[in-house]
Amino acid sequence: MPDALEIRRLTPSDETSMRHLNTVFAEAFNEVETYTQAPPEDAYLRDVLSKDHVVVLAALKGAEVVGGLVAYELHKLERARSEFYIYDLAVAESHRRQGVATRLIERLRKIAHARGAWVAFVQADYGDDPAIALYDKLGAREEVLHFDLPVP
Protein backbone atom coordinates (compact mmCIF):
# COMPACT_ATOMS: atom_id res chain seq x y z
CA MET A 1 0.00 0.00 0.00
CA PRO A 2 1.40 3.45 -0.87
CA ASP A 3 2.42 5.73 1.97
CA ALA A 4 -0.41 7.87 3.29
CA LEU A 5 -0.11 11.62 2.90
CA GLU A 6 0.95 13.48 6.04
CA ILE A 7 0.70 17.25 6.36
CA ARG A 8 3.21 18.49 8.92
CA ARG A 9 4.18 21.96 10.12
CA LEU A 10 7.94 22.30 9.92
CA THR A 11 9.84 23.27 13.06
CA PRO A 12 13.34 24.70 13.56
CA SER A 13 14.79 21.18 13.56
CA ASP A 14 13.41 20.48 10.06
CA GLU A 15 16.13 22.17 7.98
CA THR A 16 16.51 19.08 5.77
CA SER A 17 12.78 18.90 5.03
CA MET A 18 12.80 22.64 4.29
CA ARG A 19 15.62 22.12 1.78
CA HIS A 20 13.62 19.32 0.14
CA LEU A 21 10.57 21.59 0.03
CA ASN A 22 12.68 24.31 -1.61
CA THR A 23 13.61 21.75 -4.28
CA VAL A 24 9.90 21.13 -4.91
CA PHE A 25 9.34 24.90 -5.15
CA ALA A 26 12.33 25.34 -7.49
CA GLU A 27 11.04 22.74 -9.92
CA ALA A 28 7.37 23.73 -9.72
CA PHE A 29 8.07 27.44 -10.21
CA ASN A 30 10.77 26.77 -12.82
CA GLU A 31 13.20 28.82 -10.72
CA VAL A 32 15.99 26.33 -10.06
CA GLU A 33 18.68 29.02 -10.21
CA THR A 34 16.87 31.20 -7.66
CA TYR A 35 16.63 28.32 -5.21
CA THR A 36 20.11 26.84 -5.73
CA GLN A 37 22.47 29.78 -6.28
CA ALA A 38 22.68 30.96 -2.67
CA PRO A 39 20.77 28.62 -0.35
CA PRO A 40 20.41 29.87 3.22
CA GLU A 41 22.52 28.49 6.05
CA ASP A 42 20.90 26.08 8.52
CA ALA A 43 20.94 28.78 11.23
CA TYR A 44 18.86 31.06 8.99
CA LEU A 45 16.34 28.29 8.27
CA ARG A 46 16.09 27.46 11.98
CA ASP A 47 15.53 31.13 12.81
CA VAL A 48 12.75 31.61 10.24
CA LEU A 49 11.09 28.28 11.07
CA SER A 50 11.02 29.31 14.75
CA LYS A 51 8.95 32.43 14.07
CA ASP A 52 5.36 32.02 15.19
CA HIS A 53 3.96 34.10 12.31
CA VAL A 54 5.68 31.93 9.67
CA VAL A 55 3.81 28.74 8.82
CA VAL A 56 5.59 26.19 6.67
CA LEU A 57 3.61 23.05 5.90
CA ALA A 58 5.13 20.05 4.18
CA ALA A 59 3.17 17.29 2.49
CA LEU A 60 4.99 14.02 3.02
CA LYS A 61 4.56 10.55 1.59
CA GLY A 62 6.76 8.54 3.86
CA ALA A 63 10.01 10.51 4.08
CA GLU A 64 9.50 12.21 0.69
CA VAL A 65 8.44 15.85 0.58
CA VAL A 66 5.89 15.97 -2.24
CA GLY A 67 4.55 19.49 -1.70
CA GLY A 68 4.16 22.31 0.70
CA LEU A 69 3.21 25.85 1.42
CA VAL A 70 4.68 28.87 3.13
CA ALA A 71 2.31 31.37 4.69
CA TYR A 72 2.78 34.47 6.77
CA GLU A 73 0.43 35.79 9.43
CA LEU A 74 -0.17 39.49 8.98
CA HIS A 75 -1.44 41.34 12.03
CA LYS A 76 -3.94 44.04 11.16
CA LEU A 77 -4.38 47.43 12.79
CA GLU A 78 -7.93 48.36 11.77
CA ARG A 79 -9.20 45.53 14.00
CA ALA A 80 -7.62 43.14 16.47
CA ARG A 81 -7.31 40.32 13.98
CA SER A 82 -4.94 38.83 11.48
CA GLU A 83 -4.95 37.28 8.04
CA PHE A 84 -2.68 34.71 6.43
CA TYR A 85 -0.95 35.24 3.11
CA ILE A 86 -0.03 32.06 1.26
CA TYR A 87 3.21 33.09 -0.38
CA ASP A 88 4.38 29.77 -1.86
CA LEU A 89 2.33 26.68 -2.63
CA ALA A 90 3.50 23.84 -4.84
CA VAL A 91 3.15 20.11 -5.35
CA ALA A 92 5.67 17.90 -7.15
CA GLU A 93 4.45 17.13 -10.65
CA SER A 94 4.18 13.39 -9.95
CA HIS A 95 1.78 14.04 -7.06
CA ARG A 96 -0.53 16.65 -8.59
CA ARG A 97 -4.27 16.16 -9.02
CA GLN A 98 -4.36 14.02 -5.86
CA GLY A 99 -5.73 16.61 -3.41
CA VAL A 100 -2.35 17.51 -1.92
CA ALA A 101 -2.71 21.29 -2.40
CA THR A 102 -6.25 21.21 -1.05
CA ARG A 103 -5.09 19.34 2.06
CA LEU A 104 -2.30 21.86 2.60
CA ILE A 105 -4.72 24.78 2.35
CA GLU A 106 -7.24 23.09 4.63
CA ARG A 107 -4.53 22.57 7.27
CA LEU A 108 -3.51 26.22 7.02
CA ARG A 109 -7.14 27.28 7.40
CA LYS A 110 -7.35 25.32 10.65
CA ILE A 111 -4.17 26.95 11.95
CA ALA A 112 -5.46 30.38 10.91
CA HIS A 113 -8.80 29.76 12.62
CA ALA A 114 -7.07 28.64 15.81
CA ARG A 115 -5.02 31.84 15.77
CA GLY A 116 -8.11 34.04 15.34
CA ALA A 117 -7.46 35.03 11.73
CA TRP A 118 -10.40 36.13 9.66
CA VAL A 119 -9.11 35.09 6.21
CA ALA A 120 -6.31 33.42 4.30
CA PHE A 121 -5.48 34.73 0.85
CA VAL A 122 -3.31 33.77 -2.10
CA GLN A 123 -2.47 35.21 -5.48
CA ALA A 124 -2.32 33.36 -8.78
CA ASP A 125 -0.63 34.29 -12.01
CA TYR A 126 -2.64 34.70 -15.20
CA GLY A 127 -2.28 31.50 -17.21
CA ASP A 128 -1.80 29.28 -14.15
CA ASP A 129 -5.15 27.63 -14.81
CA PRO A 130 -4.79 24.69 -12.37
CA ALA A 131 -4.02 27.06 -9.47
CA ILE A 132 -6.85 29.41 -10.47
CA ALA A 133 -9.31 26.50 -10.64
CA LEU A 134 -8.23 25.29 -7.19
CA TYR A 135 -8.55 28.72 -5.60
CA ASP A 136 -11.92 29.35 -7.30
CA LYS A 137 -13.15 26.08 -5.76
CA LEU A 138 -12.00 27.09 -2.27
CA GLY A 139 -12.71 30.80 -2.05
CA ALA A 140 -13.89 34.05 -3.57
CA ARG A 141 -11.89 35.66 -6.38
CA GLU A 142 -10.78 39.27 -6.20
CA GLU A 143 -9.32 41.02 -9.22
CA VAL A 144 -6.27 42.95 -8.03
CA LEU A 145 -3.01 44.28 -9.36
CA HIS A 146 0.29 43.25 -7.81
CA PHE A 147 3.35 45.51 -7.89
CA ASP A 148 6.96 44.70 -6.99
CA LEU A 149 8.51 47.81 -5.51
CA PRO A 150 12.31 47.70 -5.53
CA VAL A 151 14.13 48.45 -2.32
CA PRO A 152 17.08 50.79 -2.90
Name the pTM for this structure.
0.89
CATH superfamily assigned to domain 5-138: Gcn5-related N-acetyltransferase (GNAT) (3.40.630.30)
pLDDT, one tens digit per residue, over 3-46 is 699 999 999 999 999 999 999 999 999 999 999 899 999 999 99
90-104 tens-digit pLDDT: 999 999 999 999 999
pLDDT digits (tens, 9 = 90+) for 132-142: 888 878 888 88
As a whole number of angstroms, the distance between CA 149 and CA 49 comes to 26
Indicate the domain borders of the chain.
5-138
